[in-house]
């Protein structure tokens, strides 16, 4: 899978990884001949091959490095060329010398042109979200618990009470069940478990008591709330301290209503700071902070889930159903995977889930879970437009998992969950009929994003 000390070399192309031994490398005398061999394996003509080095090192904050495209070999033999290929990766040799953690590398073969550009953009988009997920590590979880900001005992007591009522309602006629908060209605009685009951309580607390949605921040000087976005700035040192990668800059009106001040709104990615101090933001901040809150509640496995149409939420593992369950803190939504397609009217393409707190990539393509079966053909067309090539994008997911030492979950899990979601909607309803348009955010902002209901055409 990698260029190791024994001379083996892995070349990823679409969903396949071709491994070459030292003997096989020695039989090929030039890069031109080798490209011909790659054509035989991949079907990509030599003139259309985009070949670059991929390097993963666990010890780096941004562990994946991508080298420049290999364009010509200058007459070198392949064996002579391999060290040159390694040097083409940005700082490859330097990284290998100064990193103490394990590192792995391979070659990536894509079809040159727009498809390669889209595939690499797809790869880095996933990597950015993996970085967010990996920051929710055990140290952050312990700090969140120590802060006392998450009322874990209250959640557990309420969940135990609700869970007991559910059990009694199934065995004793006439026993009522407390249906508050509303998110608890989403899980069928037969499928609910104690973890799901805790998540139900956490959703209610997080949205209604703890976290604040921000379309635009209020003016810190005069308090006016209607500000104009002026632009985006780089973070100051104090903002970068909490992993802000960009800062939205708003301008207070200069008329009689406002004072003309500039207001900075850092988009923080430090989940502990968001959960315990900032307590505000949009979906990115909500999902990271809520995922950390679930971990602080000892929910055993949590994932961040993001779509390529700009929304992010969480999933948790259900012991009783033995699958991942959707939980969106922005909407206080539990087990409603078709909310975005059928409630909001979003035309989804890729939906990717990444398990939190790990220095390896444990991920899954969840697109078919969050899009009803009838809409899969249109979804796949959008996936191809977004990533350039569906097979190549799927291969990149597998490559990330392999290089990092993680795991890629496969479509059988997604299909089972999709079928369960379809069954739970009831045969007399159209898919998503009972699901609401987006609730988080101002109506005009929701409408501008096309998330105000299924009347919005699915393109």
Confidence (pLDDT) at 29: 60
pLDDT value at residue 175: 52
Res 334: pLDDT: 94
Determine the Cα–Cα distance for residues 110 and 48; give it in Å rounded to an integer.
8
Q: What is the mean pLDDT of the chain?
A: 83
pLDDT tens-digit series, residues 168-215 = 776 665 555 554 444 444 454 445 688 998 999 999 999 999 999 998
Active-site residue (options: 3, 204, 311, 362): 311
State residue 454's pLDDT score: 79
CATH 3.10.20 location in the chain: 9-112
The yes-or-no verdict on residue 216 having pLDDT over 70 is yes
Q: How confident is the model at residue 65 (pLDDT cuts 50, 70, 90)?
A: confident
pLDDT number for residue 81: 62
- Residue-wise pLDDT for 17-39, tens only, equals 988 876 676 666 677 778 888 89
Q: What is the pLDDT of residue 415?
A: 54
Sheet holding 407-408, edge to edge: 333-334, 323-328, 311-318, 302-307, 351-355, 362-365, 407-408
Does the pLDDT value for residue 3 go beyond 60?
no
Report whether pLDDT(393) > 50: yes
Q: Where do the CATH 2.20.25.10 domains begin and end in the chain?
A: 216-281
CB 383 within 8 Å of CB 430: no
Domain 138-215+282-448: which topology? C8orf32 fold (3.10.620)
Task: Report which of residues 310 and 425 the model is more confident about.
Answer: 310
pLDDT for 189? 45
Give percent of the chain above pLDDT 70: 78
Q: pLDDT tens digits, residue range 347-385? A: 999 999 999 999 899 999 999 999 999 999 999 999 999
Q: Name the active-site residue from 13, 106, 119, 283.
A: 283
Stronger pLDDT, 145 or 25, i.e. the higher one:
145
Q: Exactly one of 270, 307, 328, 365 is catalytic; which is it? A: 328
Max mean pLDDT range (16-20, 54-58, 411-415, 449-453):
449-453
Q: What span, in angstroms and rounded, lies between the C-alpha atoms of 33 and 27?
A: 10
Q: Tell me how far apart the alpha carbons of residues 400 and 335 are, in angstroms, rounded to a whole number.
A: 28
At 244, is the pLDDT very low, low, confident or very high (cuts 50, 70, 90)?
very high
Categorize the per-residue pLDDT at 161 as very low, low, confident or very high, splitting at 50, 70 and 90: confident
Q: What's the fold here for domain 9-112?
A: Ubiquitin-like (UB roll) (3.10.20)
Indicate if 73 belongs to the active site.
no
The residue count of the chain comes to 459
State the span(s) of the chain assigned CATH 3.10.620.30.
138-215+282-448
At 85 the pLDDT is 54
Using CA atoms, how far apart are residues 72 and 244, in angstroms rounded to an integer? 40
What is the predicted pLDDT for the residue at 88?
47
Lowest mean pLDDT among 117-126, 134-143, 150-159, 421-430: 421-430
CATH code for the part of the protein at 216-281: 2.20.25.10
Residue 283 known to be catalytic: yes
Give me the residue label for tokens 């249906």. Answer: 179
Span 147-174, mean pLDDT? Answer: 81
Annotation says 330 is catalytic: no
pLDDT of 101: 52
Residues facing 53 on adjacent strands: 107
Mean pLDDT across 411-425: 51
Which pLDDT value is given to residue 427?
Answer: 29
pLDDT (average), residues 333-348: 94
């Amino acid at each position: 899978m990698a260029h190791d000390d024994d001379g083996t070399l892995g070349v990823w192309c679409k969903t396949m990884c071709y491994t070459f031994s030292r003997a096989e490398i020695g039989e090929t005398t030039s890069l031109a001949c080798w490209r011909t061999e790659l054509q035989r394996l991949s079907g990509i003509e030599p003139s259309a091959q985009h070949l670059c080095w991929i390097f993963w090192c666990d010890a780096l904050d941004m562990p994946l490095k991508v080298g420049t495209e290999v364009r010509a070999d200058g007459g070198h033999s392949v064996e002579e060329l391999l060290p040159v290929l390694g040097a083409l990766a940005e700082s490859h040799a330097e990284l290998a010398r100064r990193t103490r953690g394990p590192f792995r590398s391979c070659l990536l073969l894509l079809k040159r042109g727009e498809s390669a550009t889209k595939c690499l953009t797809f790869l880095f988009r996933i990597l950015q979200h993996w970085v967010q997920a990996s920051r929710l590590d055990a140290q952050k979880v312990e700090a969140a618990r120590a802060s006392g900001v998450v009322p874990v005992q209250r959640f557990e007591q309420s969940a135990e009470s609700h869970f007991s009522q559910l059990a009694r309602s199934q065995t004793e006629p006439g026993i009522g069940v407390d249906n508050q908060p509303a998110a608890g209605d989403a899980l069928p009685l037969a499928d609910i478990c104690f973890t799901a009951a805790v998540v139900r309580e956490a959703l209610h607390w997080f949205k209604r008591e703890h976290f604040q949605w921000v379309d635009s921040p209020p003016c810190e000087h005069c308090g006016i709330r209607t500000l104009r976005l002026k632009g985006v700035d780089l973070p100051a040192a104090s903002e970068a301290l909490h992993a802000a990668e960009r800062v939205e800059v708003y301008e207070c009106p200069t008329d009689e209503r406002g004072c003309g001040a500039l207001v900075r709104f850092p988009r923080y990615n430090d989940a502990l700071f968001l959960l315990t101090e900032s307590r505000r933001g949009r979906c990115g901040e909500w999902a990271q902070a809520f995922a950390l809150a679930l971990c602080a509640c000892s929910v055993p496995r949590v994932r961040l889930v993001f779509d390529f149409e700009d929304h992010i939420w969480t999933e948790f593992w259900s012991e009783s159903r033995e699958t991942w369950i959707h939980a969106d803190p922005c909407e206080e939504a539990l087990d409603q995977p078709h909310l975005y397609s059928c409630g909001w009217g979003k035309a989804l393409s890729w939906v990717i889930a990444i398990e939190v707190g790990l220095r390896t990539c444990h991920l899954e393509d969840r697109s078919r879970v969050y899009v009803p079966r009838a809409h899969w053909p249109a979804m796949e067309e959008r996936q191809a437009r977004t990533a350039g090539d569906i097979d190549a994008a799927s291969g990149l997911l597998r490559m990330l998992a392999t290089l990092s030492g993680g795991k890629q979950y496969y479509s059988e899990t997604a299909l089972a969950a999709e079928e369960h979601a379809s069954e739970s909607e009831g045969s007399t309803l159209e898919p998503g009929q009972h699901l609401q348009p987006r609730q988080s955010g101002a109506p005009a902002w929701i409408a501008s994003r096309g998330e105000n209901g299924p009347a919005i055409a699915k393109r």
